[in-house]
């Protein structure tokens, strides 16, 4: 090729490049207004268009997501997309570029958000206040917000939102603020210490929020605002040797000396008797727990839950001067309450509680939004695609199987309930077209949106579990009123009810032995419960729990009250109430103030709040003890407290039941090993029970 030809080709190539990069006025482009059907976000875009500069963040993205992400990011004013690396979106801030580049390539488009303020600063956040579930406390939160550092825990919560994360923060003893994101299916970061200055984040598919519990103090901490609660401090102690000040609805964090189980009225005295203790806190956790603390007294926080008190030592004999927590400000508050009187306090509290209750009620009664409904029915296929195997965590992302849907007109049930739980009530019902008896589980009218979503998650869990002869089966569901928080869960009907009631009603009399005793409820020979029945039920429960363990489901509430008997008296494990809260975590650290079934819980569950398949094995051992005592209450001579835990840690265990042979009691004791790694698996237990069943 001759030199002039080469020069000509280079000139033409340069001219073509200049033409493809030519700047044009906005009016040159063919603009289209678009609104997302998912969240009603809107933007304006045009093909063959590129806007450069002022990038907030570039990220890999399908073309359909780019405008939506710009709309979701508060500081984004315009954006550009190119088919670079299979699709890249640049979201941008500041004044709109009035002369975008014109691109001949079809793989480019750009756009902007009409009427968005280009001067919106990065420090701009929209704060909102909301109740924390039904606790009476409040939280302040903002979208596109992050708070770094001081992590207490990172929780994976499917479908996480502000309400669920705020509840976890409130239940945690030291959490003051939190951050949430829907990355990896949903994460909640619990954080401690002073609430830091938040930073701006821009959404890239995952929604980010941060928030903090609203606190009351005189040191620049966040407060409730107008009408905020002031603590009513009360003097305690003997005044001669030691005195302290305490108040209800109060909490103090940090610097623990130790904690122990005790009554509320004893906590201040325990602190007073410990020479290093300067302040203390008490809550209803585990029946009553006191924390005594040392060092400088931190800012107190308001807890609208009456299950909290806190206080501090004001005088101890032998010390040169009293230690005052609040100085002049606290004295002024005390004097103010004395002058105003108890009537004024009652009025302020009544108004505050009324306002919180009204806001809490409005939160309770909200229905599901479109995105929540779509997630239940359609699942999260983009998250499922990232996982090669099905696990507990990914079950929530499965779509609802509409083959299980039953028309409301095909369901008939009796008005009198046959059972109830925390969020639901159960009726005896019938699927008319099949003439099939079912147990119909419905949410209570007081069930809030978060609890209702937990019931929906229960459907997904039972769909994942499938059928097993020793686990209660999901028959169907009616979801046509899901947006109004109404759902009918149709379960296998167990005619003979729960095993606990069945055994107690048929508890033997005072005869010489099991084989010679008839039941109290029915003296007919065919009503006699034989030793083989007890062993068979033990075997069937082990089979059901072996199946649940194979599906990575932690039950966490195994007891005879949660085992049902069908018309043939086959045992079926039921009621995944606690496992629903533990769902998604094979070894989950439970953070809730709900009353736990302590008589059935493993040692690590009582001391460290750890729940696992191994802790289910411990509960199985207690369930065996129930079966062979005809549902007597375990540890009948004990009450919940530190002494009970000390007894277990000293290898104290339940005595051998009268109707259990040595081999069966030996299996019980292996289930109660202090080291959970030494406990048998459910497969081992099933095999041992099967051998006893066939040799008995």
Q: What would the DSSP string read from start to end of 234-246?
A: EEEE-SSSEEEEE
pLDDT at site 602: 92
**Locate tokens 């306090």: which residue?**
345
CA distance linking residue 45 with residue 318, whole number of Å: 78
Task: Indicate if the pLDDT at residue 292 is higher than 70.
Answer: yes
Residue 591 pLDDT: 38
Q: Is 263 annotated as a binding residue?
A: no
CB 42 within 8 A of CB 33: yes
In contact, 315 and 243? CB cutoff 8 Å: yes
The two structure tokens encoding residue 226: 């107008």
Rounded distance between C-alpha atoms, residue 289 and residue 263, angstroms: 8
Distance, in Å, from the CA atom of 189 to the CA atom of 148, rounded to the nearest integer, reads 10
Q: How confident is the model at residue 628 (pLDDT cuts 50, 70, 90)?
A: very high
Number of other residues whose CB lies within 10 A of the CB of residue 631: 23
With a cut of 60, say whether residue 2 has pLDDT above it.
no
Nearest Cα to Cα of residue 61 among 109, 96, 105, 25:
109
For the chain, first and last CA: distance in Å?
A: 99
Q: Distance between CA atoms of 673 and 228, rounded to whole angstroms?
A: 50
Query: Which of 203-207, 447-451, 515-519, 550-554 comes out lowest in average pLDDT?
Result: 515-519
What is the C-alpha radius of gyration for the chain, rounded to an integer number of angstroms? 32
Q: What is the pLDDT of residue 4?
A: 45
619: nearest Cα among 550, 548, 555: 555
The H-or-E segment that residue 68 falls in is helix 63-72
**CB-side exposure of 36: number of CA atoms within 13 Å?**
19
pLDDT band at 15; cut points 50, 70, 90: very low
Give the model's pLDDT for residue 380.
77
Q: Which of 500, 259, 254, 225 is nearest to 352 (CA)?
A: 225
3-state secondary structure of 21: coil
**Sheet (strand 187-192) strand order:** 128-131, 138-143, 208-213, 175-181, 187-192, 151-156
Please, what is the angle between helix 662-671 and helix 682-695, to 10°? 170
Mean pLDDT for 670-677 is: 94
Band of residue 470 on the pLDDT scale cut at 50, 70, 90: very high
| Cα distance between residue 520 and residue 630, in whole Å | 12
Computed over every residue of the chain, the mean pLDDT equals 77
pLDDT band at 137 (very low <50, low <70, confident <90, very high): confident
Mean pLDDT, rounded, for 91-96: 86
Tell me the mean pLDDT in the region 602-612.
85
d(CA 537, CA 290): 42
Place of tokens 């375990």: 634
Mean pLDDT in residue range 577-592: 42
> What pLDDT sits at residue 332?
53
Q: How far apart are CA 166 and CA 210, in angstroms?
A: 10
Instruction: Sketch out the chain's domains with CATH numbers.
Output: 21-112 (3.50.4.10), 128-213 (3.50.4.10), 234-353 (3.50.4.10), 395-492 (3.30.200.20), 499-695 (1.10.510.10)
Half-sphere CA count of 425, side-chain side, radius 13 A: 12
Looking only at the bridges linking them, the beta strands covering 175-181 and 187-192 are antiparallel
413, 430 Cβ separation under 8 angstroms: yes
Residue 16, pLDDT score: 40
Mean of pLDDT values over 110-128: 76
The rounded distance, in Å, linking the Cα atoms of 497 and 299 is: 52
Which position has the higher pLDDT, 180 or 230?
180
For 473-508, what is each residue's pLDDT tens digit? 999 999 988 877 889 999 999 999 999 999 998 887
Pairing relationship of beta strands 256-261 and 289-293 according to DSSP bridges: antiparallel
Instruction: Provide the 8-state DSSP code for 405.
Output: B
Q: What is the pLDDT of residue 582?
A: 43
The neighbour count for residue 532, using CB atoms within 10 Å, is 11
**What are the b/e assignments for 637-648, b being 16+ CB within 10 Å?**
eeebbeebbeeb
- Per-residue pLDDT averaged across 235-262, rounded? 78
Residue 174 pLDDT more than 60?
yes
Judged against a pLDDT cut of 60, whether residue 142 lies above it is answered with yes
Q: What is residue 132's predicted lDDT score, i.e. its pLDDT? A: 79
As given in the structure block, the two tokens for residue 652 are 């104290």
Secondary structure letter of residue 657 according to DSSP: P
* pLDDT score, position 64: 82
647, 261 contact by CB (below 8 A): no
Residue 173's pLDDT is what?
Answer: 66
Q: Is the pLDDT of residue 590 over 70?
A: no
Say which range, 9-18, 30-39, 406-415, has the weakest mean pLDDT.
9-18
Cα–Cα distance measured from residue 598 to residue 647, given in angstroms and rounded to the nearest whole number: 13
pLDDT at 546: 96
Q: Helix H segments across 551-599?
A: 577-582
Residue 382 burial (CB count, 10 A)? 9
- State yes or no: pLDDT of 228 exceeds 70: no
Mean pLDDT of 36-44: 81
pLDDT at 411: 92
Residue 564 banded pLDDT, cuts 50, 70, 90 = very high
Cβ neighbours of residue 185 under 8 Å, at least 6 residues apart?
Answer: 156, 158, 380, 383, 393, 394, 396, 397
CA distance 107 to 86: 10
Return the C-alpha torsion angle 564, 569, 570, 573, nearest 10.
10
SS3 assignment, position 211: strand
CA atoms within 13 A on the CB side of 454: 21
Q: Is the pLDDT of residue 231 over 70?
A: no
Q: Which residues pair with 420 in a beta bridge?
A: 425
Q: Which of 624 and 242 is assigned the larger pLDDT? A: 624
| Average pLDDT of the segment spanning 67-82 | 86
Length of the chain: 696
Q: Are 67 and 38 in contact (CB under 8 A)?
A: no
d(Cα 580, Cα 622) in Å, to the nearest integer?
Answer: 21
Rounded distance between C-alpha atoms, residue 693 and residue 531, angstroms: 10
Residues 630-660: pLDDT tens digits? 999 999 888 888 889 999 999 999 999 999 9
Please determine, for residue 229, whether its predicted confidence score (pLDDT) is greater than 50: no
- 239 vs 243: CA distance, rounded Å: 5
CB atoms within 10 A of CB 662: 7
pTM equals 0.49
How many CB atoms are located within 10 Å of the residue 10 CB? 10
- DSSP structure string for 450-491: HHHHHHHHHHHHHHHH--BTTBPPEEEEE-TTGGGT--EEEE
Instruction: List residues bridging with 540 in a β-sheet.
Output: none
Mention every residue, 6+ apart, whose C-beta is less than 8 A from residue 126: 74, 142, 143
Please give the pLDDT value at position 306: 61
pLDDT higher than 90, residue 433? yes
CA distance 367 to 677: 45
Report pLDDT digits (tens) over 332-350: 555 565 566 666 565 656 5
415 — pLDDT class (breaks 50, 70, 90): confident
Give the tens place of pLDDT for each residue, 203-223.
665 667 888 877 533 333 333
Kindly state the helix (H) or strand (E) to which residue 350 belongs, with its residue range: helix 342-364
- Is residue 272 within 8 A of residue 316, CB to CB? The reply is yes
Given this model, what pLDDT does residue 361 score? 40
Query: Among residues 569, 492, 493, which one has the least CA distance to residue 534?
Result: 569
Q: Give the angle 442-443-448 at the CA atoms, nearest 5°.
A: 165
* Res 349: pLDDT: 63
**Within 135-263, where are the H helices?**
162-171
- Residue 422's alpha-carbon distances to 426, 443, 578, 652, in angstroms, are 11, 9, 10, 32
599: Cβ–Cβ under 8 A, 6 or more apart, which residues?
622, 633, 634, 635
Give residue 207's pLDDT.
61
């Amino acid at each position: 090729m001759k030199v002039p030809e080469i020069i000509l080709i280079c000139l033409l190539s340069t001219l073509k490049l200049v033409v493809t990069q030519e700047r044009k006025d906005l009016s040159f482009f063919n603009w289209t207004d678009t609104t997302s059907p998912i969240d009603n976000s809107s933007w304006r875009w045009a093909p063959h268009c590129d806007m450069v500069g002022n990038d907030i963040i570039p990220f890999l993205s399908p073309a359909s997501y780019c405008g939506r992400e710009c709309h979701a990011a508060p500081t984004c004013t315009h954006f550009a997309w190119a088919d670079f690396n299979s699709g890249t979106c640049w979201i941008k801030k500041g004044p709109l570029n009035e002369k975008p580049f014109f691109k001949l390539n079809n793989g480019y488009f750009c756009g902007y958000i009409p009427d968005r303020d280009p001067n919106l600063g990065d420090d701009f956040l929209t704060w909102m206040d909301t109740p924390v579930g039904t606790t009476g406390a409040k939280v302040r939160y903002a979208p596109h917000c992050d708070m770094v550092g001081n992590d207490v825990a990172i929780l994976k919560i499917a479908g996480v939102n502000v309400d669920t994360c705020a509840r976890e923060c409130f239940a945690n003893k030291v959490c003051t603020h939190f951050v949430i994101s829907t990355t990896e299916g949903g994460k909640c970061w619990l954080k401690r210490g002073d609430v830091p200055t938040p930073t701006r984040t821009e959404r890239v598919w995952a929604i980010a929020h941060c928030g903090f519990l609203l606190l009351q103090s005189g040191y620049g901490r966040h407060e409730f605002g107008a009408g905020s609660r002031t603590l009513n401090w009360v003097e305690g102690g003997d005044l001669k040797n030691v005195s302290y000040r305490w108040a209800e609805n109060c909490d103090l964090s940090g610097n623990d000396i130790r904690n122990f189980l005790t009554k509320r009225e004893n906590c201040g005295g325990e602190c007073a008797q410990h020479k290093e203790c300067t302040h203390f806190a008490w809550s209803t956790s585990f029946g009553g727990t006191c924390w005594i603390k040392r060092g400088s007294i931190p800012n107190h926080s308001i807890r609208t839950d009456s299950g909290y008190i806190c206080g501090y030592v004001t005088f101890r004999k032998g010390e040169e001067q009293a230690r005052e927590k609040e100085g002049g400000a606290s004295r002024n508050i005390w004097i103010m309450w004395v002058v105003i009187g108890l009537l004024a306090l009652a009025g302020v509290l009544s108004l505050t509680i009324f306002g919180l209750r009204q806001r809490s009620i409005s939160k309770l009664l909200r229905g599901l939004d479109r995105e929540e409904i779509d997630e239940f029915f359609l699942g999260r296929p983009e998250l499922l695609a990232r996982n090669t195997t099905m696990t507990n965590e990914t079950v929530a992302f499965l779509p609802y199987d509409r083959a299980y849907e039953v028309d409301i007109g095909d369901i008939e049930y009796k008005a009198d309930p046959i059972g109830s739980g925390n969020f639901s009530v159960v009726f005896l019902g019938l699927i008319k077209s099949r003439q099939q008896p079912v147990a119909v589980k419905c949410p209570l009218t007081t069930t809030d949106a978060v609890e209702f979503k937990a019931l929906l998650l229960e459907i997904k869990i039972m769909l994942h579990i499938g059928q097993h002869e020793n686990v209660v089966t999901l028959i169907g569901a009616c979801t046509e009123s899901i947006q109004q928080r109404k759902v009918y869960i149709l379960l296998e009907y167990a005619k003979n009810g729960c095993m606990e009631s069945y055994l107690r009603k048929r508890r033997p009399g005072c005869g010489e032995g099991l084989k010679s005793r008839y039941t109290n409820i029915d003296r007919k020979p065919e009503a006699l419960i034989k030793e083989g029945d007890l062993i068979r039920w033990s075997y069937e429960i082990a089979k059901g729990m072996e199946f649940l363990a194979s599906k990575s489901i932690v039950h966490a509430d195994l007891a005879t009250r949660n085992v049902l008997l069908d018309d043939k008296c086959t045992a079926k494990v039921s009621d995944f109430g606690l496992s629903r809260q533990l769902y998604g975590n094979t070894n989950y650290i439970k953070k809730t103030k709900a009353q736990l079934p302590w008589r059935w819980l493993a040692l690590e569950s009582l001391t460290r709040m750890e729940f696992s398949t191994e802790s289910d094995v411990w509960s199985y051992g207690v369930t065996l003890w129930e079966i062979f005592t005809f549902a007597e209450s375990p540890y009948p001579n004990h009450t919940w407290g530190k002494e009970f835990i000390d007894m277990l840690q000293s290898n104290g265990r339940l005595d051998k039941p009268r109707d259990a042979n040595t081999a069966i009691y030996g299996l019980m004791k292996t289930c109660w090993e202090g080291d959970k790694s030494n406990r048998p698996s459910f497969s081992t237990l099933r095999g041992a029970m099967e051998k006893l069943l066939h040799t008995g």
